[in-house]
Structure 1
Amino acid sequence: MKNERLLASLVPAVTAIAAWAVWLGWDQHRDVHPDGSTTGPYAAWQVIGLVLTLLAPVCWSAARHHVAATALGTTAGLTAAAAFDWSDDSSGLFMVGVVLLALGTLAATAAVSAVVSTARRGTA
């Protein structure tokens, strides 16, 4: 049981780190528009791809009724990837983004995990 819980947190964590690298890790520049405004560095399709990629391990882990392990593993993976990726920010405010990402990831994965786990209990 303990090994299963460890696996339920490690799979989403490792997948989150790898998915960050695949979807967001390569895009490091901001786009400058003709009016001088900037956007980026990530496009909406990249973030959507990351979220959709993470649904599989989150649902897999939550279906095994490890809601906390799922939410914590995914949050730890994304937080570590973001902290590493954004740590070269010259403004020093990258930690604000990292904390906000961690809180959002924890809330979203906890909600999805709870729904999947509850739905799975109803069918089991």
Structure 2
Amino acid sequence: MKPVRHLLPIPALAGVSLVLWAAWLGWDQHRDVQPDGTTTGPYAAWQVIGLLLTLLAAVYWAASRRYVAGAVIGTTAGLTVAAYFDWSDDSSGLFMVGVGMVMMGSLIATAVACAVIASAKRHGRRIRA
């Protein structure tokens, strides 16, 4: 029963990641044209930072309860699926490069964050004991 309990955070965090992507990035789909003709977007920096900070709260929750695999795999899967569906209408075909970068970046970032959180929790418990 214990291994199953450790797998439940995977779909939960994947779902949270999908919902947070939609909340922070899903509604802004147009690029802004600057006066000099250059384009920016479709996301502003504050949207991406907001997504990262809210995801960090979910990753912290899972990692502090020793659901590290769930945090890493679930968050990575959710963000990868969200990026795929959000960007798949790109006619250049380069959206898969971006999706791959989201997948690798979220995998590395959540693994590092989980390692730091787990280490801090372990060291915090040793100090109190």
TM range (shorter): over 0.9
Letter in 2 for 1:11: A
TM superposition shift of 1:120: 1.3
- Secondary structure, counterpart of 2:8 in structure 1: helix
Q: Name the structure 2 match of 1:15.
A: 16
1:49-100 deviation line (CA, Å, top 9, x unaligned) = 1001101110011012222221111000000000011000011110000000
Per-residue displacement from partner, 1:8-60 (whole Å, max 9, x unpaired)? 22222111000000000011100000100000000000000100110111001
Q: CA deviation at 1:117?
A: 1.0
Please list, as runs of the form range in 1=range in 2, the aligned pairs for 1:1-124 lying within 5 A after superposition.
1-124=2-125
For structure 2, the residue ranges without an aligned partner over 5 or more in a row are none
Aligned residue type for 1:121: R
Judge conservation of contact 1:9–1:61 (CA < 8 Å) in 2. no
Aligned-pair identity in percent equals 60
Matched position secondary structure for 1:90 = coil
Moved over 4 A (4+): none
- How big is the shift at 1:115? 0.8
Scaled by the length of structure 2, the TM-score of the pair is 0.91
Counterpart contact for 1:62–1:113, Cα < 8 Å: yes
Larger Rg: 2
Which amino acid in 1 is paired with 2:18? I
CA contact (8 A) 1:11 1:57 kept: no
Aligned residues: 124
Q: Secondary structure at the match of 2:106?
A: helix
Taking the aligned partners of 2:32 and 2:76, their CA distance within structure 1 comes to 28
The letter of the residue matching 1:93 is L
Contact 2:20 2:55 in 1 (8 A): yes
Query: What code does the residue aligned with 1:91 have?
Result: S
Indicate the RMSD between aligned Cα atoms, in angstroms: 1.1
> Which TM-score applies when normalising by structure 1?
0.95
